[in-house]
């Protein structure tokens, strides 16, 4: 009789100097082979409230500096906030395009160029508007001895997901940053159709 393979597994950690400061990077893998990382900064005691950001991979925004979305802006802002606070964790989840993958995201971009919004484009391709899962976040936070968090997000669904996993979210901190002419309609769609919370004056 073989033992059941764990759904998620911690792999290893290492030093990660960045232009924002020196972090530690921690690797995790799902049974499917999908890999994720967490970046930690500073120290805390178990039970302390730790500022965190859950960030889904966005190659176009994070690495290629696209302004079609606010992802790259928010990644930079979250890292800056963590360093300014002196402690924190960024969970970087490999679920591109709200879970549809990079090439399908490019297909969705093509549909958006023709007039669809981000939700309509995903659904036209046969996907739900948002396929992301946050289940691995609990293992990542447990590994880093984080049980109580202050969550940097504009998406209340992330807060609900963490609480359903048993993580105590004591506060949600907005991370409004990077509003451009190229992404204003995208952000408005996320507000109206996906439940994200932004300051209404941003869309005037």
Q: Please check if 98 is assigned to a binding site.
A: yes
Cα 75 to its chain centre, rounded Å, is 8
Q: Please check if 137 is assigned to a binding site.
A: no
Could you confirm whether 130 is annotated as catalytic? yes
Are 148 and 168 in contact by the 8 Å Cβ rule? The answer is yes
Q: Please check if 195 is assigned to a binding site.
A: no
Q: Please check if 158 is assigned to a binding site.
A: yes
Distance CA 182, CA 113 (A): 11
* Total length of the chain: 204
| Catalytic annotation, pick one of 130, 142, 176, 182 | 130
Q: Please check if 96 is assigned to a binding site.
A: yes
Could you confirm whether 117 is annotated as catalytic? no
Closest listed residue to residue 71, CA positions, set 79, 62, 63, 80: 62
Q: Please check if 58 is assigned to a binding site.
A: yes
| Catalytic annotation, pick one of 62, 68, 117, 132 | 132
Question: Structure tokens of 173?
Answer: 């901190």
Distance CA 58, CA 153 (A): 16
The set of residues, in sequence order, having a beta carbon less than 8 Å from that of 2 and lying 6+ positions away, is none
Phi, psi (degrees; rounded to nearest 5) at 77: -65, -40
Q: Please check if 153 is assigned to a binding site.
A: yes
Which residue in this structure is represented by tokens 């907005």?
174
Which active-site residues does the annotation give? 130, 132
Give binding residues for GTP as ranges: 53-57, 74, 96-98, 118, 153, 158
Give binding residues as ranges: 53-58, 69, 71, 74, 96-98, 118, 153, 158
Give binding residues for Zn(2+) as ranges: 58, 69, 71
């Amino acid at each position: 009789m073989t033992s059941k393979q764990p759904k998620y597994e911690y792999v290893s950690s290492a030093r990660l100097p960045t232009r924002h400061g020196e972090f530690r990077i921690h690797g995790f893998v799902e049974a499917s082979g999908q890999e994720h990382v967490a970046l930690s900064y500073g120290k805390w005691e178990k039970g302390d409230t730790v500022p965190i950001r859950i960030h889904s991979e966005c190659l176009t925004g994070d690495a290629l500096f696209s302004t079609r979305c606010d992802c790259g802006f928010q990644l930079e802002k979250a890292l800056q906030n963590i360093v300014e606070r002196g402690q924190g964790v960024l969970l970087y989840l490999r679920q591109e395009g709200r879970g549809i993958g990079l090439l399908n995201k490019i297909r969705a971009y093509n549909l958006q160029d023709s007039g669809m919004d981000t939700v309509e484009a995903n659904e036209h391709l046969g996907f739900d508007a948002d396929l992301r899962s946050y289940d691995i976040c609990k293992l990542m936070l447990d590994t880093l001895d984080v049980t109580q968090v202050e969550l940097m997000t504009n998406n209340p669904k992330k807060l609900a997901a963490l609480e359903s996993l048993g993580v105590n979210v004591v506060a949600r901190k907005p991370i409004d940053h990077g509003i451009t002419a190229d992404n204003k309609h995208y952000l408005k769609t996320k507000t109206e159709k996906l439940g994200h919370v932004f300051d209404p004056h941003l869309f005037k």
